[in-house]
A and B are shown apart, each in its own frame.
Chain A
Amino acid sequence: MTATAVPATGTDRRGARRSGGSVEAGKAFNRLAATCLTLFALIWLVPFLWALVTSLRPDDEIAQHPMRPWSNNWNIDAYRSAWESSPLGWWYVNSFIISTLTVVFTVIVCSMAAFALVHLGFRGKVAVFGLILAGLMLPTEALVLPQFMEFRALHLLGTYWAMVLPAVALPVAVFVFHAFIKGIPIALIEAARLDGASWWRIYSVVVMPLCRPAMSAVAILTFITSWNAFLWPLLVLTHVKTQTIPVGLSGLIGGAAIQYAETMASCVLGILPLLAVFLLLQRQIAQGVANTGIK
């Protein structure tokens, strides 16, 4: 909670200053706005709370009083049975490995390409730049069928690689790094160059440490996208134990419709890891999404 309290201070003065002008009207307006906003924000939290409350109530009580938001018999049995009835542990492990590998490779590969585009004059650079720019328009999600054929031909179906490889060459990430690296003072690079540092050294020792905001933006975006990917892992990861959390959870729908508590418990468990990360890094995540989205 400490982390989340910090960002508010930066905007304090801004909000206060903006409510100048006709003071009375401004105050009334702000009060109305605050009420509306708070109401909607609370409504937005309802599905989370409803899933949480349901997961902690016994099934027969839910059937009898479906709309009651409290329980006479709070318990975590549903979590125990959810954990036992589906391989949630495996799904966590798979999701975690796939997302982490994707993030690491994306950050390295895309920042290297961006570094070359900013600081290295090589023949064909204009063409490469144009190619990557055109890549921004490629709707990759629409191409799952030919992509599936390709990975079958490569005998990579069902592996982590099938999940990681197609996600790494991310044009947006190159442009985020490109914009950031361009802002690094050239004098730094020239000084390193005069000291006889190799390009690799300049990239890894001078440029990358300065790129931390871009790195975190790209890492966050890639991690969320990879963690929540659905269609591609649905096609590629066919064994229950190799699945990721989103695909595994989707198998529960329409299954046992009466076991509300257990289904909601699985949901809560599925939501938890990324939500926990989000609560810890709220500010950075919002900033990262804004950075990558706007590019």
Chain B
Amino acid sequence: MTTSALAAPATGAGTELRAAGGRAPKGENRAGWLFATPFLVLYVLFLIGPVLIGIVISLFNTTTVTSGLGSWVGFSNYADVLSSGDFWASMWHSVLFTLLTTPLLVLLPLLFAVLASRMIRHQWFFRLAFFAPYVVPSSAVCLIFAFMYTPQTGLVTNVFGWLGLTAPNFLGSTSGAWFAVVLLTLWWTFGFNFILYTAAIQDISEEVYEAASIDGAGPWQQIRSITVPLLRPTMSLVLILQVLASLKVFDQIYILLAGGPNYSTRPVIEYIYDTGFTSYRGGYAAAATMVYFVILVAVSAGWILVRNRRAAAAARGETSR
């Protein structure tokens, strides 16, 4: 993928100017590095740097209060992390959050984007209503929802009453807390996926629909046999973006619930935060960071592999036809 994407720009400008032999002239080589240097310096210092520092610290019993590494402990931090019930519990909470939010946030925005694209007027209104929450800071979202989740007097609590249901204790019980945080997340981030789908739908050619409607295809048929199949790549993209975003959940659970009640919703990042910045066990928290880091990278790498294999299979299918 890297090479194919690169082939085009490499032959880009100055093919004429370039000396035969394909090598870049000296001036161009220097200019290239000069242009890329600011990015590369910041990239290496602040993106690669933390990874390396994390690996190093995870091998020492560093504390977060004092500077300095502490003493070498080898892989014992990793052994501790991997055998810690609290770490795996927090990992499970992040996974559970992902399992609860991903289906909702992949499918509902798709449904609404498809419906909204059929609307003749007022599309701006739907975009406004669904996307506006995305620009609201997490803490403001949490303050508003905490107010609406108040027992007895809160709006959501009362809506449950109107529907003849008993509202759970939103911030005091584990199941209520999950419901609260999932509903909040749905409201807050729905618009992002909605926009991705909307943009993809607008890229679908008009003519396909015209042909279909001449053939007498009704709206439902058009959606089922044109829109949804053509949106499959976008769905796959939204899916992976959503899984990664959900696995990295922190803000909502930390602000709204502080990981509670009794740590029963604490996600991994908050576990790292607690061990690293509240208990000051820097080395241990760095080991937890690296385990978590590897899991996240494995998820994205897995997705890329699957996608490339599918693309290759599709290409083979086309040539054999």
Contacts and interface: CB of A to CB of B under 8 A. Distances in A.
| A is bound by B | yes
Contacts of A8: 121-124
Is chain A's binding surface mostly helix, strand, loop or mixed?
A: helix
Contacts of A282: 124, 127-128, 131
B115 A182 contact: no
Nearest to B199: A290
B250 A153 contact: no
A137 B297 contact: yes
A5 B124 contact: yes
Interface stretch (B33-41, B81-89, B99-107, B172-180): B33-41
Interface string A87-124: 00000000000000000000011101101111111110
A18 interface: yes
Given A246-B137, A286-B127, A37 B143 contact: no
Given A116-B36, A249-B143, A286-B131, A139 B244 contact: yes
A87 B51 CA distance: 35
Contacts, number: 392
Contacts of B74: none
Chain A interface residue count: which class?
35 or more
B58 to A, nearest CB: 9
Interface in B1-35: 1-3, 5-6, 8-10, 12-14, 16-18, 23-24, 28-33, 35
B219 interface: yes
Contact of A146 (B8, B132, B152, B289): B289
B239 interface: no
Contact of A18 (B133, B153, B213): B213
A252 B134 CA distance: 21
A17 B210 contact: yes
Contact of A29 (B14, B62, B220, B282): B220
A190 B241 CA distance: 39
A264 B217 CA distance: 50
Given A14-B206, A224-B135, 4 more contacts: A45-B129, A121-B18, A146-B50, A289-B192
